[in-house]
Amino acid sequence: MPRINRLPDIVANKISAGEVVQRPASVVKELLENAIDAGATRIAVSVKDAGRQLVQVIDNGEGMDEEDAAKCVERFATSKISTAEELEALGTLGFRGEALASISSVSHFEIKTRRQGDSVGIQLRYEGGELVEKDKAACDSGTMVSVRNLFYNVPARRKFLKTNATEFKHIFESVKAQVLAYPEIQWQMFNDEQELFDFRSTDIHERLNFFFGDDFSSSLIEVHEDNDFLSLHGYIGKPAMQKRHKNEQFIYVNRRVIQNRMLVQALQQAYGELLIERQVPFALLFLGLDAQQIDVNVHPAKLEVKFEDDRNVRTMFYTIIRKAVRSRNFSPDVGGAGLREGCQAFARRGSESSETKLEFQKLSSGSSTTRGLYKEYSGANGGENLPAGPVVGEQGEIFAPGKGLFGASQRELRRSDFVQATGKLEDEKLHEEQETEPKIWQLHNKYILCQIKTGLMVIDQHVAHERVLYERAVDIMDNNVPNSQQLLFPQKVELKPWEFEVYEEISEDLGRLGFNLNRLGARTVMIEGVPQDVLSGSESYILQDMIQEYQQNAEKLKLEKRENLAKSYSCRNAIMSGQKLSLEDMRSLIDRLFATKMPYVCPHGRPVIIRISLEQLDRLFGRT
């Protein structure tokens, strides 16, 4: 008896659906691409229950006759191409003919369509890929596709869908990407029968301001370049508008939404030192190439492309962006007044009320100063009481306590590895000074170097502050400690639809943390008070950044709600790498770090403290 069988079409379609239709957002993307390819000038999108109950796309495109409507849900049936040669120069977004077959096989699928010259349209209904109804229908010219009860017959896939907030966020991002790519099309969107937007104007600036905030578009840098190899136009953000996430970078190739690590890295590198660590610039960029120079038949979701000449594409992309960025003078925003203002604000907060701004818990009278802490930290027995934290090796690697310092070979030291100290220090004098006052320096506005009795301690200022804020946030929420300071001028924030869903989920705990928030209208929130650690002037950004961080943590990690919120709060409020701190700021931060329950790692598991002992330094210099 033969063991190899040909799968029935319905089974093959369900398997294919696993690649093409990963979540409701995949359905939205495929239907929007079909509507655009059909020449639509107006498209309406409706979703219910984050796409689980309904995804509906209505367009005024060219429509289909009865024969084409019946064929469109068959596998590998498409009007986009007819020969293999056409794959080499695709001019449409779709081309495989798998999307509608896959979608209809895992949903209750309905299509109504009519061509411009026809007097009546056609209506077809499918359940699990099987045709259950076919009839004439009175409808407008164009096509309406309704997808109900997605994955009703694939319970395993439905079970693995995320929360409504997460799924709707992906849907909204998919729609936004197309709305920005096709300003000539009028777009309308509904969520649970509530209208989110209705763009009738072709002005791209109106759409940018809607999605990213009032006057957002006025702060963008325009990019425009045309040559005989490629064209690149669109907008990039000034360094002052830098973001922490890449979901606000939109890169299109021949108006197709793509994900390409090479171009993202080139964009980042074009900004160079104008960006702070872990921050990325906003981008809305349209790359145009000869269709024969790219291959889009790489991934089932058609999000990846291959370039025939990767090197030249990257080089020209990088050069154009760098030229646009360098043509502006950003020094006042990045390294001048803007940065100084932030540092001064932090310094003022630390000096005006250092006991309430950074502290996690009250310090004992015997260890309430940096000097006292270092006496306890260094210990009386040659460092026996030092924490069992990691140490750093000669190549910068981190070793656990007790591990050998040297690797297989010792690297050659260079002059650039040294920073020349001012003044001359003798060993005896060094020990005397250490006993009276610990030495503290800031390295590259990123690390705090501390001289201790047994050697050198290096602290990452960002993750150290994260640890302080995290434990403080947990303590406040667990014990209902008052932690709110009222704003003299309340701030109004309009949240995106998915942000508002997350906000409603965590609003109660936000209140416990110290946010005094009131809802105004559909998605508008009034900030009337904030926790004491929130920097003045950053209240609205912090709230939105926290919501975004919370959502990302919820997607990637299985965290208890309050733990997630505490991590999101500490990450978004912590001082950043690149921020200059005064001596008093550094001492205050170190004091509060050692007052925490776990000062050696940040809430995300990264090391906070690395120590280098005198013995290790002596070995490096051949003194032993």
SS3 of 599, please? coil
| Structure confidence at residue 576 (pLDDT) | 86
- Asked if 98 and 104 count as a contact pair (C-beta separation under 8 A), the reply is no
Q: Which residues pair with 136 in a beta bridge?
A: 122
Determine the pLDDT at residue 337.
Answer: 37
Q: Spell out the domain ranges in the chain.
A: 9-201, 207-333, 353-402+426-624
Do residues 598 and 439 touch, judged by C-beta distance below 8 A?
A: no
Cα torsion angle, 429, 430, 431, 433, sign: positive
Share of the chain above pLDDT 90, in %: 37
| pLDDT at site 13 | 61
Tell whether the model's pLDDT for residue 334 goes beyond 50.
no
Q: Is the per-residue pLDDT at 316 higher than 90?
A: yes
What is the tens place of the pLDDT at every residue in 201-222?
999 999 999 998 888 888 899 9
Q: Tell me which CATH code domain 207-333 carries.
A: 3.30.230.10
Q: Class of the 9-201 domain? A: alpha beta
Mean pLDDT value of segment 546-552 = 87
Give me the pLDDT at residue 39, please: 94
Residue 315 has pLDDT above 50, yes or no: yes
**Residue pLDDT, tens place only, 137-155:** 999 999 999 999 999 998 8
Q: How far apart are CA 621 and CA 208, in angstroms?
A: 58
Of the pLDDT bands very low, low, confident and very high (cuts 50, 70, 90), residue 607 is confident
- Give the integer Cα–Cα distance in Å for 111 and 72: 10
**Which residues touch 407 (CB under 8 Å, ≥6 apart)?**
393, 394, 395, 397
What average pLDDT does the segment 50-76 reach?
92
According to CATH, the superfamily of the domain at 353-402+426-624 is: MutL, C-terminal domain, dimerisation subdomain (3.30.1540.20)
Name the 3-class secondary structure at 164: helix
**Dihedral sign of CA atoms 323, 327, 330, 335 in order:** positive
Q: Name the DSSP class of 518.
A: E
3-state secondary structure of 425: coil
Q: Summarize pLDDT for 428-439 with one digit per residue, the tens.
A: 444 444 445 568
* pLDDT reported for residue 14: 57
Q: Per residue in 398-408, pLDDT tens? A: 333 333 322 33
Residue 79: the pLDDT is: 64
Residue 19 confidence class, pLDDT cut points 50, 70, 90: low
Q: What is the structure's pLDDT at 96?
A: 65
Question: H or E stretch including 209?
Answer: helix 204-212
State the Cα–Cα distance between residues 341 and 343, nearest whole angstrom.
Answer: 5
Give the pLDDT of residue 160.
87
| CA gap 330, 336 in Å, rounded | 9
Least confident of 84-98, 101-115, 187-201, 522-536: 84-98
Q: Nearest to residue 566, comparing CAs of 374, 299, 360, 407?
A: 360
Q: What is the pLDDT of residues 254-275, one digit of tens each?
A: 999 988 999 999 998 888 766 7
pLDDT value for 449: 93
DSSP 186: E
- pLDDT tens column, 457-511: 899 999 999 999 999 998 898 888 888 888 888 989 988 888 888 898 898 889 8
Mean pLDDT of the chain: 78
Q: Which of 85-89, 197-201, 585-589 has the lowest mean pLDDT?
A: 85-89
